[in-house]
Amino acid sequence: MLVEDDFILRAHLAELLMFEGYAVTCAADGAEALRRLHKEPPPSVILTDILMPRLDGIALRNALLQTSDFRDIPTIALTSLRDSGSLQSLHFSEVVKKPLDLDHLLESLAKLCPRA
């Protein structure tokens, strides 16, 4: 699942991931991601932006950690924050800096998630 509020980035990244063989579902923010998680089969991994309106990536990760069905889903933070040290307490599987290094992102994703 790709959670990103920037429509263009979300569309391009989803297209790239599908081209690489991943099945991708998208959400525009953390609130939409949580709604989808409660209705759909759980994803193998969640890629989430940190800075988003309504429900940001930190609030999303906190909600995931408090729900037994979701706490073990590997979650990768995508962030433009200069100091991402505050994210360590949320036990993200990986923190990937923006602008994205796509090769690094794909390597990280390959460790956590099988392709479709």
Residues 20-57: tens digit of each pLDDT: 999 999 999 999 999 999 999 999 999 999 999 999 99
Contact 83, 110 (CB under 8 A): no
Per-residue pLDDT, averaged over 3-26, amounts to 97
Residue 108's contacts (CB-CB under 8 Å, 6 or more residues apart) are: 76, 93, 94, 96
Given a cut of 70, whether residue 116 has pLDDT beyond it is no
The fourth-level CATH superfamily of domain 2-112 is Response regulator (3.40.50.2300)
The dihedral over CA atoms of 25, 4, 109, 63, expressed in degrees to the nearest 10, equals -90
